[in-house]
A and B are shown apart, each in its own frame.
Chain A
């Protein structure tokens, strides 16, 4: 006697599901080519070095891949990827700061840097980074996206699914706060 087989659970159906998965993967890889660099740049805007930024961007890409069936709409995908990358980068920066703080405490007895050392370091960059960290997260993300080459404010609004007026006011406020801290 033949075994009972549920309709819809046939080998043909399994094949269709496999093909659909393969199609999804191809579609995702195409989306990755379009948005991978954007993810890296968002992470780089928060983190101090490119290696950390790449790690974070790859983690964000993996998370997007796992949820791709919900993120197939391109505009939604870009916005989600930007936000998740930004959040992961902030987390990474926070733990890097904690690690740095521990190492600084440990190395308290090492010789202090000379005036020349300080002058040689990128003082402006360091101060800018500190000022960026004090900004509200929402404004910071708008500032990063708006600073990217070729990103108009309209595109930033589209990526973040925000009204253009909101983007403008966040950007205005972020730049003003940065300048106040750097003056």
Chain B
């Protein structure tokens, strides 16, 4: 067996830290040159392993975990905002909404309709505005307005309740509003919580005089947060 034929087998054996296979071992017994080569390779791999092990087995400086924990208290888990692509997309959507809001407001499909919620009074034109809304295929947000505070339909504050109304339910919603306005017992039962529930929702019916029907904008924000959280 010639020395050159053994080189790779020698290197592999040295690298794996195993004895060379029998034919190579037999050659090594008679060839001092290959013996020396094998020993050099063994030393080289041992030196590599030792140097790497020394480096990656170093203990962290004392107090490393304490310092890391201290830095955690300055931070918070903000998983939903972690993806910059989502954040950029959200900013873009908000910017588009802000830019298109005046145009949306000027569209004829956005109609100020009367009323919502509970013991409030419904203005008599609810039926006609509802039929106008039927032509709009997009979901809309019905926003209750407090009658004694606001006269402009678009001045409703974010604290006021918003109800997502799909296009095919707008008529039913208008009928419901009418029933509420008429102090209907069935409608009152719908807005009241069950007596054995302890959820501290406030079921006192706010005084409102009208309902804005507007294109959906705020209502999708919480939904998108749920999507991100649930994506993993």
Chain A positions within 8 Å of B, measured between CB atoms, are 1-7, 10, 12, 21, 24-25, 28-29, 32-33, 36-37, 40-42, 44-45, 50-51, 54, 57-58, 61-62, 65-70, 124-125, 128, 143-144, 147-149, 172, 175-176, 178-179, 182-183
Contact = CB atoms under 8 A, between A and B. Distances in A.
Interface stretch (B72-80, B91-99, B128-136): B72-80
A128 B78 contact: no
A50 B52 contact: no
Contact of B65 (A1, A33, A44): A33
Given A62-B75, A124-B51, A182-B48, 7 more contacts: A2-B204, A4-B159, A4-B202, A7-B199, A24-B77, A36-B64, A149-B57
Contact of A66 (B60, B77, B202, B204): B77
B53 A179 contact: no
> For chain B, which range describes its interface: under 10, 10 to 19, 20 to 34, or 35 or more residues?
35 or more
Contact of A32 (B68, B76, B204, B229): B68
B105 to A, nearest CB: 25
B55 A179 contact: no
Contacts of A12: 200
B56 A179 contact: no
B56 A147 contact: yes
Contact of B64 (A25, A57, A128, A144): A57
Interface string B7-43: 0000100010000000000000000000000000100
B15 A175 contact: yes
Nearest to A183: B44
A36 B202 CA distance: 48
26 contacts: A3-B159, A4-B159, A4-B160, A4-B161, A5-B200, A6-B201, A25-B77, A28-B72, A28-B77, A29-B72, A36-B68, A40-B64, A41-B56, A44-B56, A45-B55, A45-B56, A58-B64, A58-B67, A68-B77, A69-B229, A70-B82, A147-B52, A149-B53, A175-B45, A182-B48, A183-B44
Interface class of chain A by DSSP: helix
B72 A62 contact: yes
A179 B60 contact: no
B204 A1 contact: yes
Contacts of B56: 41-42, 44-45, 144, 147-148
B44 A182 contact: yes
A67 B229 CA distance: 11
Most A CB contacts (10 A, CB to CB) among B49, B60, B65 go to B60
Contacts of B182: none
B60 A176 contact: no
Nearest to B81: A66
A119 B222 CA distance: 66
B71 A128 contact: no
B71 A66 contact: no
A37 B201 contact: no
A171 to B, nearest CB: 10
Contacts of A61: 68, 71-72
B83 to A, nearest CB: 9
